[in-house]
Structures are given as structure tokens and as C-alpha cells.
Structure 1
Amino acid sequence: MTTHETRKTALIFGASRGLGLAMAAEYVSRGWCVTATVRGDRRTELNDLAGSSDGRLTVEKVDITVPEQIAALHARVAGTAFDLLFVNAAITNGDVQIGDVTTETFNRVMVTNALSPMRVVEAFQDVVPPAGTIGVMSSRQGSLTLNDRAGYEVYRAGKSALNQLMRSFAARHADDQRTMLLLCPGWVQTDLGGPAAPLTIGESVPGVVDTIEKHAGEGGLHFVDYQDQTVPW
């Protein structure tokens, strides 16, 4: 029988709503023990999920754009090992051409979508054991190869920067046994994806989790989508 002590564990950043919330719920439904984060003090659906999880979901508060909050959470979970560290964080400024984007908006998107997720990866890598997985939520829009339509240029740039930084992280840890993943969830009906997106959260997230599980213990860096199809750089 699986006990609390032998269950797999996940630390998921950015789980108050949308894809992150659905990932937390999916892992709980699969018997994992999950620690998931929200920003601020407002009660979210994640708190409701925690209340019905039989103690298998813990909610932590952190704004990953604030380095001091990252450090504080790291201190709270120090000594705990997680089979999966996953960072889900993204904002968009809408479909605005780069020449019309303010410096403030550019900085905000880049800090949220690229710098902050990598700060989390750098800070929390020590809680992931050699057989574990470190993943971040990327996007096909971060692919240079697939950009033949333009649009959402700062969002694209932020995801491309995230991909590059994750690739640098992997290069610096070339002998690391852990699996590293850039995950593309598809175009999903979320606040960011919009109602016209072809995928529901329920269609995307089980595939995201299945793909993470497929690569567990494999090692190396992989840029893949929710159907485990390789996404070109």
C-alpha cells in the first residue's frame, strides 16, 4: 500500500488558477503529495483543493518576482526532497508590435516569464534528487524556428529567453542525472490563451503530466509539448 512517506512529491510554482491549478489537481488525483504556490493572501481554488486532498496538498505563498520571497520559501522547505520541481509562470502584454511596447511593459514580461522562473530553478535545484525532474512551462511561441507569423512579440521573446536560459542551465549541469523539461501545453483556453483556443485545460494538462512522467529518470534537456512531440528550438 502506498503511504504518505512513499508517495512521489511535487513542488509546483504558480498554481492559483489555470494550468498550474490543474497540474496540482492532476498530481493529487494520481496519488502524489504536492506543495503548490500562490501569490498574495487571496483565497483561491487551490486552497479549496487542499481542503479536500486528505493532507496531500500544501499551499505556500510566494511571488517569484520577489527574490526575498523565493529565499523565504526555500528556507521553509529546506530538507524536503521533491521528485518534481515545476515552474508555471507567464503574462502577456497582448498582441503589440515591439516598437509600441513601453520599457516598463517589456521589463515586466521578461522578469515574470524568463528571469523569475530561472531564479526559482537556481534556488530550488538542491531539493530535487538525482532521479528527479526540473521543468518549466514554455510555449511553441518561444520557438525561433516556428515563428513565421510574428504577433505577441514580447511574449514570444520572453519564452525564447526562458528556453535559452534553461539551455544554459543544462549546459552548466552537463553531468547532472536529473531530467530537465521545457513543456509546451498547447494553445489552451486559459486567461492567457483566450476562449478561442482549441484545447481545454482538461485536454492539455493530463498530457503535460503524462509527458513529464515519460521522461522521468531519463536525464538531459527536452523541449516537448503536451503530446511528447519535440518542439524545434
Structure 2
Amino acid sequence: MPDSQKHALIVGASRGIGLGLAETFLRRGWQVTATRRGPAPGLERLAAEGVQVETVDIDDDAAVAALHGRLGHRKFDLIFVVAGVLIEADRPLSAVSRAVHAKVYLTNAVSPILFAEAFRARLAPGGTLAFMSSVLGSVALNTEGGWENYRASKAALNTHARSFAARHADRDFGVLLLHPGWVATDMGGEGADLDVATSAAGLADVIEARAGRTDLAFLDYRGETLPW
């Protein structure tokens, strides 16, 4: 008998929005596989409730290949690459070392696409490939500057994702770039507009509403389209 339960792979779920997404989809009846790079007490709690926890560093090709092997031939209705870094984003471009710029660009813009290339065959027909982007990645909305290396890395992620979608124009899954809102996490900091539960629920609503679509979109957690 076919398995009617939806399957999600949340990449980068050790804390914050990634952890919130893992919990949200679990509560909605999905079977969830969630990854961490290191210790993740919150994720271990969800493991006791049925979440399959795996370890991977998306900047490590061998680790990604090993995860691919461990997951066998499993198909996913959702693969959501959440993993990212925020390093010295409050400093202007000229005040940040080349090594930091390279790290931010690699982790936020390149590694998510390389992960997608490695796992795209694991998406079920009508499934969704999602990347955690940001409204800061919108070039059109960048009128005030700031958050320079992070902003640029998310704009680059958007560009790479559009190229990925064009390269795989015959795909049978959708591609989403999602802005979670300004969320109160270690990355989002104090004074944020949203808590994790609200953001994760909104993102999950958007993903579930677009199930079966195969187009590309840049949306926020309310489902509103953002300008590139």
C-alpha cells in the first residue's frame, strides 16, 4: 500500500527556524528527517518523538555524499536547505576579511545549490525544493545598504537558485526561495518582529499551499511575492 505520509528533509535544524520547521512539520503529521552540524539538544528532544536526526556539514562534499548514501533511495516531498551563517554582517565590506567573505559566500550561496544538485533526484514528483533566503537578498529593495556580506550572499543564493531552476527546466518539483521574516533567534537578535513558531508555521503554510507546483518563486512567510 502506498505511503500517504509526507516526508521532509530539513537541512540545518539544530536551532532557530530550522528547529522550528522540524517541529512544525512533525506536528502536522509529516515524517521528518532533520540535520545538524554539531550538538543540538533541541533536535535530540524531537528525535525522541520520531524525527530522524542526521549529521552533515553542507560545506563538506564528502559529508553530503555520505548523507546521501545513508538515506538510501528515500524520496522527499520537501527538501528545505535552511543552513546558513551570519558573520560580521554589521560591518562594511571593507572592514571584513577576505576569509570571512569567502566563508559567508560559500555557506550561504554555493553550498545550498551544491546540496540541491546532489539531492534533486530524491524529490518526489510534485515536491518542493526550498532555500532559506531573505528579503535582504532582494537587489530591488536594497535602498539603504547595511548587512553587506550577508545581503550579498542571499542575493547570490537567489541568482544561483534561478540558474538552477533554468538548468533543470524539465524538473517535476517546485523551487522556492523563502524569507522567514525578522525572527527572534540567535541570528535574528533582539527586537525581532516574530517568534520562531509564527515564522515556521507561516513557511509551512506556504510550502503546503504550493504542493504540486513546479515553478520558481521568491516569497515571504505570508506567501507574498518579493521583488528580485
The interval holding the TM-score normalised by the smaller chain is: over 0.9
SS of the residue aligned with 1:89? Answer: coil
* 2:190 maps to 1:195: yes
Aligned twin of 1:23? 21
Give the C-alpha shift of residue 67 in structure 1. 0.8
Alignment of 1:11 with 2:6, yes or no, is: no
Name structure 1 gaps, 5 residues minimum: none
| 1:4 Cα deviation after fit | 10
Q: 2-side partners of 1:188 and 1:136: how far apart?
A: 16
Structure 1 match to 2:204: 209
State the shift of 1:199 in Å.
Answer: 1.0
Q: Letter of the aligned partner of 1:230 in structure 2?
A: T
Q: How many residues align?
A: 227
Alpha carbon RMSD of aligned pairs, Å? 1.3
TM-score by length of 2: 0.96
Question: SS where residue 218 of structure 1 aligns?
Answer: coil
Identity rate of aligned residues, in percent? 47
Deviations 1:109-151 (A, max 9, x none): 0111111111111100010022111001000000000101101
Aligned to 1:142: 137
Which residue is equivalent to 1:176?
171
Amino acid in the other structure paired with 2:10? I
Q: Where does structure 2 lack aligned partners over 5 or more consecutive residues?
A: none
Deviation at 1:196, TM superposition (A): 1.0
Q: Distance in 1 between matches of 2:35 and 2:40?
A: 12
Q: Does 1:36 align with 2:34?
A: yes
| C-alpha separation in 2, matches of 1:192 and 1:49 | 21
* Separation (CA, whole Å) in 2 of partners of 1:129 and 1:43: 28
TM-score with structure 1 length normalisation?
0.94
- 1:47-97 CA-partner distances (Å, limit 9, x unpaired): 11110x2x3x10000011111100000011131011101100221223111
Once residues 72 and 177 of structure 1 are traced to their aligned partners in structure 2, the CA distance between those partners, rounded to angstroms, is 25
Aligned pairs (5 A) from 1:119-158: 119-158=114-153
Of residues 211, 223, 227 in structure 2, which corresponds to 1:228? 223
- Structure-2 separation of matches of 1:149 and 1:122: 34
1:136 partner SS: strand
**Number of the residue aligned with 2:46:** 49
Alpha-carbon distance in 2 for matches of 1:85, 1:39? 17
Q: Distance in 1 between matches of 2:113 and 2:172?
A: 19
| Partner SS for 2:17 | helix
Note the C-alpha offset of 1:198: 1.0
- For 1:73, the equivalent position in structure 2 comes to 67
Q: Residues 101, 4 of structure 1: CA spacing in aligned structure 2 closer, same or farther, 3 A cutoff?
A: farther
Runs (4 or more) in structure 1 with deviation over 4 Å come to: none
CA distance in 2, matches of 1:216, 1:161: 26
In structure 2, C-alpha distance between the alignment counterparts of 1:72 and 1:176, rounded to whole Å: 24
